[in-house]
Amino acid sequence: MLYWITLLIGIAGLAAALALAGKRVLFLWKLFKSGQPDPERTLQVKREPKKAVEGQAVEVLGQKKLLKWTVAGAAHFAVMWAFFLLATVYLEAGVQLVFGLDAHIPFVQTWGPIGFVQDTIALACLAGLITFTIIRIKNAPKKLGRKSRFSGSHLGGAWVILFMIFNVIWTMFFFRGIEAAREGLSYGKAAYFSWLVGQPLKGVDDNVLEVLEAAGLLLHIGVALVFLVIVVNSKHLHIFLAPLNVMFKRQPDGLGAAQPMMSKGKVLDFEEADPDEDTFGRGKIEDFTWKGYLDMATCTECGRCQSQCPAWNTGKPLSPKMVVLELRDHAFAKAPYMLASEEEREKFTDEQKTAMQVDKELVAEDGVIHPDVLWSCTNCGACVEQCPVDIEHIDHILDMRRFQVMIESSFPSEAGVMLKNLENKGNPWGMSEMKRLEWIEELDFEVEVVDDKAPEDMEYLFWVGCAGALEDRAKKTTKAVAELLHIAGVKFGVLGPMEACTGDPARRLGMEFVFQMLGQQNVETLNEAGVKKIVATCPHCFNTLANEYPQIGGNYEVVHHTQLLAHLVEAGKLTPVTPIEENITYHDPCFLGRHNKVYKQPRDIMSHVPGVKTQEMHRHKERGFCCGAGGARMWMEERIGKRINTERVDEAMETNPDTISTACPFCLVMLGDAINEKKNEGQAKESLEVVDVSQLLIRSIKGEDAPKETVSAE
């Protein structure tokens, strides 16, 4: 009789849970399916299945990103593997539900090591839950405000999930302990904790224990079924969606190139585009792709992106986490309307439409995303780098910018000046193209200027960039690199007036049309000149030439100047000899570091300079802090919160440096400006400067003939 009661209750609970969970899964499937097509996501998995498998092994099973956060990562690792391994306990519970409490799976449920692993991972999971509890209490938003990475997250849901996982653990030990007391635990003492739990119950009437075991079994199964229903209706849906999001992430990763503008699954052709039929970026939630919806539903609300965001850390309204959550909540609210037929939509009342946010604008002061949020982004990539489930925040922000810029003509006014200069003069400052050669006049050797075809003996085209040619501080880097290449015997040339802006500021602002115009012009120039290898001093130019120009027919071997110089030093073609007795801290440019994983070479250069003592800032390499210039922010005023460049210089000054080094003209300008402000306020020593690593190298190679002040950021 007890067997049939247990079986019927179990089957009824299973049917109810599957019905509720199935309804939610069907809703999510329909929502994802309604998104714009993104065929490249599935094609890349077919083209490179090995990478897809590696992603699952390293990021999902190996928890690579989470383990960078040591304690929290280890706790999550334990809980996640408990989720996998304790599925075997549920398999066993299912067998006992169907075939009776004394039933066991032959050769599996009787093998001691399995019981040992089950008990051990369950205890590790319990330790993980305690760790999570401490972390959440210690970092509660009520205590830390916006400094808490949980600020803005749905906190109640997280506590419910922790409680449910705890219920899984204690109910498992409860029914297995009773099983041990009845001498029915097939693993015996190998399942050591289950066995220990059962010892105090020894001697209790077997009929009582049998009822308790059946109740414990139903409790254990019931907790899992309730957990399933909660999970598919909460942020913990990532348990099932994270592997999919990792599989379909952009390759090689979500940084590097900005995606081309897509419409209906195809790259948008501006010459044939129809404003009424095609989507120009994302102007409403329906414009997002199915991968965009997958990103939204996968977010775990962990706040790691938020904790690393330079905008959020300096008092601005942008939180990458909140952008994703606000888009997700809006998508879920509007989904019934989006999925309804035209006839069904006509039947909705005004109150229902308001509840479904039908008329709510995507980007507006009273919309889903506030404009200040959208324009605070520097495209630094810290959010994408840190996200444990590979959400592509930058892509979504950039696509919303594209609609605002190209359709709404709504963007910060000062950026409009930059766009006009790009269109009319080919550079953000609006200077004459002939000024691109003025820096050469200050050198004491000839530099090849490519007019038509590149000479056959030219090893590299030196892409000087707008800042490198036109901005006084960046010119010093340009001259230093040119001189170093000359000393090393590297044959190089420049385009001079034929070089135009790569279009990075326009693209990152959202003006894709201007990027396409400049990019195609440059690609045509480079291809006609027969250029194969390029060296660039600006990480933004480097990133665009290497990663984005292939989208428009420009395929070149592109290196950053630090990569080439590090190679020349290693090969003995450049030999620093004069000691530079200074404490130096290095600032990682975002578009060189996070976007292109170039961390080692700039540091290698400094390590070869005698006398240099280096000290890292507390945020460096993949966790480096932005200078504030990326995402076209170089040409926009920073009116909200603390200036990002000031925050970064404050961090640098904690290392008590004589010099701050970097490898980007934008960083050079931004950090230099912040240093000058500090000097004016009496908060920094007058000798403090910011220089490119190439300037340190040329100083050491040439000796005291290159005095320090000639490479100052002032």
Q: Please give the average per-residue pLDDT across 19-41, as a whole number.
A: 95
Whether 106 contacts 15, CB under 8 Å: no
Give the pLDDT band of residue 714 (cuts 50, 70, 90).
Answer: very low
Is the pLDDT confidence value at 344 over 60? Answer: yes
Q: Which residues pair with 560 in a beta bridge?
A: 536
Is the pLDDT confidence value at 165 over 90? Answer: yes
Domain boundaries, the chain: 2-30+52-246, 282-411, 426-539, 569-711
Backbone φ and ψ for 117, nearest 5 degrees, come out as: -65, -45
Whether 2 contacts 209, CB under 8 Å: no
| Torsional sign, CA 376, 413, 548, 661 | negative
| Beta strands 492-494 and 583-586, pairing class | unpaired
Whether 89 contacts 172, CB under 8 Å: yes
Whether 668 contacts 540, CB under 8 Å: no
Structure letter (DSSP) for residue 200 = G
Is the pLDDT confidence value at 708 over 70? Answer: no
Instruction: Write the CA distances from 255 to 487, 512, 543, integer angstroms.
Output: 35, 18, 10
CATH label, 2-30+52-246, candidates 1.20.950, 3.40.50, 1.10.10, 2.60.40: 1.20.950
Q: How far is it, in rounded angstroms, from Cα 475 to Cα 107?
A: 74
Digit-coded pLDDT (tens) for 194-205: 999 999 988 788
Digit-coded pLDDT (tens) for 225-280: 999 999 999 888 999 999 999 999 988 776 889 999 998 889 888 888 887 788 89
The mean pLDDT value of the chain amounts to 92
Q: Which residue type occupies 112?
A: G
Say how many C-beta atoms besides its own lie within 10 A of residue 371's C-beta.
17
279 Cβ neighbours under 8 A, 6+ residues apart: 36, 262, 263, 264, 287
Is the pLDDT confidence value at 709 over 50? Answer: no
Q: How far is it, in rounded angstroms, from Cα 88 to Cα 176?
A: 13
Give the pLDDT band of residue 35 (cuts 50, 70, 90).
Answer: very high
Q: How far is it, in rounded angstroms, from Cα 574 to Cα 489?
A: 10
CATH label, 282-411, candidates 1.10.1060, 3.30.420, 1.10.3470, 1.10.10: 1.10.1060
Structure-block tokens of residue 167: 């219920």
Percent of all residues in the chain with a pLDDT value above 90, rounded to a whole number: 82
Residues in the chain: 714
Q: What angle do CA 21, 26, 30 make, to 5 degrees?
A: 150
Q: Which residue has the tokens 């540091």?
A: 603
Whether 670 contacts 627, CB under 8 Å: yes
pTM: 0.92
Is the pLDDT confidence value at 581 over 70? Answer: yes
Query: What DSSP string runs through 264-295?
Result: TTEE--TTT--TTTS--S-SSGGGSBHHHHHH
| Beta strands 533-536 and 492-494, pairing class | unpaired
Q: Please give the average per-residue pLDDT across 589-613, as a whole number.
A: 96
pLDDT at 254: 64
Q: Which residue has the tokens 């640098």?
A: 652
Is the pLDDT confidence value at 538 over 80? Answer: yes
Q: Which fold has domain 569-711?
A: Rossmann fold (3.40.50)
pLDDT at 103: 81
Whether 381 contacts 322, CB under 8 Å: no
pLDDT at 277: 84
Q: Please give the average per-residue pLDDT across 219-224, as a whole number.
A: 94
Is the pLDDT confidence value at 116 over 80? Answer: yes
pLDDT at 110: 79
Percent of all residues in the chain with a pLDDT value above 70, rounded to a whole number: 98
Closest CA to 503 of 492, 489, 514: 514
Q: Which residue has the tokens 């109640």?
A: 156
| Torsional sign, CA 219, 221, 224, 229 | negative
pLDDT at 2: 82
Q: What angle do CA 341, 343, 346 make, to 5 degrees?
A: 110
Whether 498 contacts 713, CB under 8 Å: no
Q: CA 653: distance to chain centroid?
A: 27
Give the pLDDT band of residue 42 (cuts 50, 70, 90).
Answer: very high
Q: How far is it, in rounded angstroms, from Cα 594 to Cα 308?
A: 12
Digit-coded pLDDT (tens) for 408-461: 999 999 999 999 999 999 999 999 989 999 999 999 999 999 988 989 899 999
pLDDT at 105: 83
Is the pLDDT confidence value at 711 over 50? Answer: no
pLDDT at 707: 46
Backbone φ and ψ for 693, nearest 5 degrees, come out as: -60, -30
Closest CA to 484 of 587, 570, 603, 575: 575
Whether 301 contacts 325, CB under 8 Å: yes
